[in-house]
A and B are shown apart, each in its own frame.
Chain A
Amino acid sequence: MITRARTTALIFALATLFAGSSPAADDVALLKDLTSVIMLLGMPCGQVVSAKRQADNDHIASCKDGNRYRVFVNAEGRAVAQKQ
């Protein structure tokens, strides 16, 4: 009986641990956004596989094809992809 109670407690602990939105989901959304904006700007990339945040709305995106871009919002309010 005690063992069953412990198991149940463990289940709830694990469920609580893994439930909810994870930071990984946000990362995936960011990578998708960076991929889209680079594509929209007509730059070769394929797919952004990793990104490093430099500041608000300023990221270094690494593409699957090896290209790297700094994606940021400039002073004029334009989204810009700058090849690194």
Chain B
Amino acid sequence: MMPPVRIVGILSFALAVGCAGVKEAPPSAVAQSGPLTVDPAPAGPRQPGRAGDEAVAIEPVASTPTPPSMSHTPPKAAPPPAKAPARVSASPPAVEQARKSEDPAVVAKQLEPPLDVAALKARLRDTNAIGIFTKLALKNQVDDLLQRFRAHYGSGQKTSVASLRQPYDMLVLKVLALLQDSDPSLARAISGSREAIWGILADPDKFNAVA
């Protein structure tokens, strides 16, 4: 006959085993690379729904709480090659000049992987970090922002698109805030592509080529 304490212990263990949930597999962190392709069609399926008369319109620059910003530490620049003192033939000012030319930002830019917007879009669509409603709302806001760019370029204005930088940054921050806890690798990828994507949006030729 088993002592009651032992039975209780076994039952507790069984409950613990039963309640242990199966964690979702972390999203693939496989680096994506490929040619520079931009597909402006945003992620998220269109789904039928009901129309609301007094529905609140989605505004890309809606005043949402400021999400915590991601760290934007640029990749570490490659250290300058070690020089053998005996073989240095350049004068000290020349060496200084050469060191100055190795600007860390330039080196970091060279180390950045090529932008693959299609892959980012696919990863954003497939991630489990955000739900279907959220994906749809993000898609709507991306569409709205692209529409603003189209309107800007279509109006023939020669002014810069600097006024659209803030809504762009806000949208990226929203995406990062949604992803950074549940899919940090995708958040890092988007954060790292931020300037490259802006480079496409801010250039009318590139934008028209992909839009």
The verdict on B25 contacting chain A, using a C-beta distance below 8 Å, is no
The verdict on B196 contacting chain A, using a C-beta distance below 8 Å, is no
Q: Tell me the complex Cα distance, A14–B14, Å.
A: 6
- From A19, A42, A56, B62 is in contact (CB under 8 Å) with A42
- From B1, B13, B64, B132, A33 is in contact (CB under 8 Å) with B132
The answer to whether B49 and A41 have CB atoms under 8 Å apart is no
Give the chain A neighbours of B14 by CB distance below 8 A. Answer: 10-11, 14-15
The answer to whether B140 and A79 have CB atoms under 8 Å apart is yes
Question: Quick one: which of B1-51 are within 8 Å of A by CB?
Answer: 1-2, 7, 10-11, 13-15, 17-19, 21-22, 46-51
Give the chain A neighbours of B59 by CB distance below 8 A. Answer: 42
The answer to whether A70 and B136 have CB atoms under 8 Å apart is no
The verdict on B92 contacting chain A, using a C-beta distance below 8 Å, is no
Question: Quick one: which of B53-74 are within 8 Å of A by CB?
Answer: 54-56, 58-59, 62-65
- The interface size bin for chain A is 35 or more
Q: Tell me the complex Cα distance, A15–B100, Å.
A: 66
- The interface size bin for chain B is 35 or more
The answer to whether A73 and B49 have CB atoms under 8 Å apart is yes
The verdict on B138 contacting chain A, using a C-beta distance below 8 Å, is yes
Q: Which residue of B lies closest to A25 (CB)?
A: B21
The verdict on B131 contacting chain A, using a C-beta distance below 8 Å, is yes
The answer to whether A73 and B178 have CB atoms under 8 Å apart is no
The answer to whether B11 and A37 have CB atoms under 8 Å apart is no
- From A21, A39, A74, B52 is in contact (CB under 8 Å) with A74
In this complex, the member of A15, A22, A76, A79 whose beta carbon has the largest number of chain B beta carbons within 10 angstroms is A79
Spell out A's residues near B (CB within 8 Å). Answer: 3-4, 7, 10-11, 14-22, 25, 29-30, 32-34, 36-37, 39-43, 55-58, 70-83
Spell out B's residues near A (CB within 8 Å). Answer: 1-2, 7, 10-11, 13-15, 17-19, 21-22, 46-52, 54-56, 58-59, 62-65, 130-134, 136-138, 140-141, 174, 178
> Can you name 16 A-B pairs with beta carbons within 8 Å?
A7-B2, A7-B7, A11-B10, A11-B13, A15-B18, A17-B18, A18-B18, A33-B134, A40-B174, A42-B59, A57-B133, A71-B133, A75-B50, A76-B51, A80-B56, A82-B52
